[in-house]
Structure 1
Amino acid sequence: MIQTLSDIYLYSDIDGTLGIAGLGIPQRNRQAIARFVEKGGHFALCTGRGITNIKPFVEGLPINADSVIGNGCAVYSFAEDRAHSVTYIPPQGEDYLREILSQHREFGVLLINEEGYFILKEEGRPDQCFSREFPRRTLEELQGPYYKFLFVVPEEDAQQVYEELKSRPYPGVDFVRSALTSIEMLPHGVSKASAFLKLCKEQNIPIENTVFIGDFYNDREMFLSAGFPTCVGTTPEDLKPLCKMVLGPCMDGAVADLIQWLEERYPPAKA
């Protein structure tokens, strides 16, 4: 039961919700999060990003609760600067990757684990489709394990490619659309929501005290699992009915608008 802001655990997606790569985080969001935490609130991330791609983007934010990263492949403590748990793609996932790549020369590929992000280097494969420069690895240099593989595909083909990959008989892995041009291979059964629910159980966080804000299909399970699910205005129309509140655009300060709404309804923590 929520009585004060200190009872609330607010989980925010990053890309398209908290901020946008290349543009950063709106100052309104930064100020509101600092205010929310100062008043006793718990703020955490629930993102598809890996930790090495999170830290530079959120530098300066007072993240004071354990966060879900890698679309649920890990739970990360910013206070302790370590992952509590990591779930990896099984060894056969590398065989699936090779099979997919042999049939789709047009895909750009990122390999992601705790060490960082790596662009798959292969003759004839696009590697200029990423917003940042990353180290490169060949298929012979995979050096796993990895917790996810990310495929960059043309936006107009993304849904069809996603449906095709999802239909493949690949035990041990699942596929999810994480952005307009991104499809990810994840360990089977892993999602933001699976890690979130496990975290809440282990830390005795009441689900009814949780608030989530997201924007895309990899947030669907969170919209169904969080106590008070919300989304930004650019969220696909078929996802909006799953949310209890639809806010404005990301860069207008959607997270700040949500925090302001919470502040108007709940007092700060008691001194």
Structure 2
Amino acid sequence: MIESLRDILVVSDIDNTLLTPSAGIPSVNKATIELFCALGGRFTVATGRTVESVRQRLGDLTLSAPAITVGGGVICDFSTGERIKNEILPRAVAYRALEDVYTRFPMLGIEVMGADDHLYIVRSNEFVQQHLLQEEMSCLLIPLDEIYCEWNKVLFAGDPDTLKKVKTFVEARYYPGVYFIETNAMYYEIMPEGVSKGQALKDLCRYLKIPVENTIAIGDYFNDIELLQAAGRSVAVQNAPGEVQLVADEITSACLDGGVAEILYRLIRQYS
């Protein structure tokens, strides 16, 4: 039961939901998040970005709950630096899948997000460079066999037509313990089986001792669908694809029109 803002957890996707890489966070979103948190509400993000990238992108915006990062593989409390959850890929299987794709698609960019908080570039291309610029990430360009840490996830970067071929290629093979997901028209990822933003939301609720029915999730893309389905209430921004909007309980304004602020302000008026 929700009696006040303190009983609510709002979780928002970052890219094209809370902000855009080019325009940043709309001022109305930032101001309303700060007010929501000051009044006792809990607000955080759920994103495919790394911990470092989230810190860089949010700047001085302070979250009032741990962040879901790396597509649900990592839950990090930014106030303490503690990783509440840190899921890793089965190394042998992920290595084999990466090698298979590396050999078959020589123009494809490949990134490995390490559990040591480093981003490793196995092979760069224009899409990897764009990704690095947009997400403000530092990285290490390194051969695959010299990455000694555990991996949180692998990202393939390329044009949409190439990624469709990659999808067909991997679906014809068997890689136990991992799954593949499209996170953008230019990105296709390897994730640990059972790891998603939706599962991470449930884990975060247990950690915070908040009923999952007291959560509100806001998203814009296909990789947000499990998050929207897991939450007590789901919201899609107006710029989301129609298939994502159909999953949501309601539609809010587009990202740059302050869709996140619209939801938070409604909660403030109702419960503060």
On whether the aligned pair clears a TM of 0.5, the verdict is yes
Q: Which runs of 4+ in 1 moved over 6 A?
A: none
Equivalent AA in structure 1 for residue 257 of structure 2: D
Structure 2: 5+ residue runs without aligned partners? none
- How much has 1:169 moved relative to structure 2? 0.8
Structure 1 residues 207 and 105: alpha-carbon distance in aligned structure 2, compared to 1, 3 A threshold: same
Structure 1 residues 185 and 56: alpha-carbon distance in aligned structure 2, compared to 1, 3 A threshold: same
2:208 aligned partner: 203
Contact 1:107/1:152, CA 8 A, preserved across alignment: yes
SS of residue matched to 1:238 = helix
Looking at structure 2, the residues matched to 111 and 125 of structure 1 have their Cα atoms a distance apart, in angstroms, of 16
1:53 aligned partner: 53
Answering whether residue 228 of structure 2 is matched by residue 227 of structure 1, we say: no
Structure 1 residues 129 and 61: alpha-carbon distance in aligned structure 2, compared to 1, 3 A threshold: closer
1:172 aligned partner: 177
Q: Which moved more, 1:137-146 or 1:23-32?
A: 137-146
Equivalent AA in structure 2 for residue 170 of structure 1: Y
SS of residue matched to 1:147 = strand
Q: How many residues align?
A: 266
Aligned CA RMSD, in angstroms, stands at 1.9
2:192 aligned partner: 187
2:120 aligned partner: 118
Answering whether residue 109 of structure 2 is matched by residue 108 of structure 1, we say: yes
1:94 aligned partner: 95
Structure 1 residues 141 and 126: alpha-carbon distance in aligned structure 2, compared to 1, 3 A threshold: farther
TM-score by length of 2: 0.91
- How much has 1:143 moved relative to structure 2? 2.1
Looking at structure 1, the residues matched to 161 and 16 of structure 2 have their Cα atoms a distance apart, in angstroms, of 19
SS of residue matched to 2:151 = coil
Structure 1 residues 37 and 184: alpha-carbon distance in aligned structure 2, compared to 1, 3 A threshold: same
TM-score by length of 1: 0.91
- How much has 1:131 moved relative to structure 2? 4.1
Looking at structure 1, the residues matched to 168 and 237 of structure 2 have their Cα atoms a distance apart, in angstroms, of 25
1:135 aligned partner: 140
- How much has 1:144 moved relative to structure 2? 2.5
Q: Output one character per residue of 1:64-110: Cα deviation in whole Å (capped at 9) or x when no partner.
A: 11221111111111121121121111111112111111011121111
- How much has 1:164 moved relative to structure 2? 4.0
Structure 1 residues 223 and 129: alpha-carbon distance in aligned structure 2, compared to 1, 3 A threshold: same
Q: Output one character per residue of 1:128-178: Cα deviation in whole Å (capped at 9) or x when no partner.
A: 443426331112322221100011121244445335434431001111111
Equivalent AA in structure 2 for residue 116 of structure 1: H
Q: Which moved more, 1:154-163 or 1:235-244?
A: 154-163
1:267 aligned partner: 271
Query: In proportion to residue count, which structure has more helix?
Result: 2
1:146 aligned partner: 151
Structure 1 residues 127 and 60: alpha-carbon distance in aligned structure 2, compared to 1, 3 A threshold: closer
Structure 1 residues 126 and 152: alpha-carbon distance in aligned structure 2, compared to 1, 3 A threshold: closer
Structure 1: 5+ residue runs without aligned partners? none
Structure 1 residues 251 and 171: alpha-carbon distance in aligned structure 2, compared to 1, 3 A threshold: same
Equivalent AA in structure 1 for residue 120 of structure 2: F
- How much has 1:201 moved relative to structure 2? 2.5
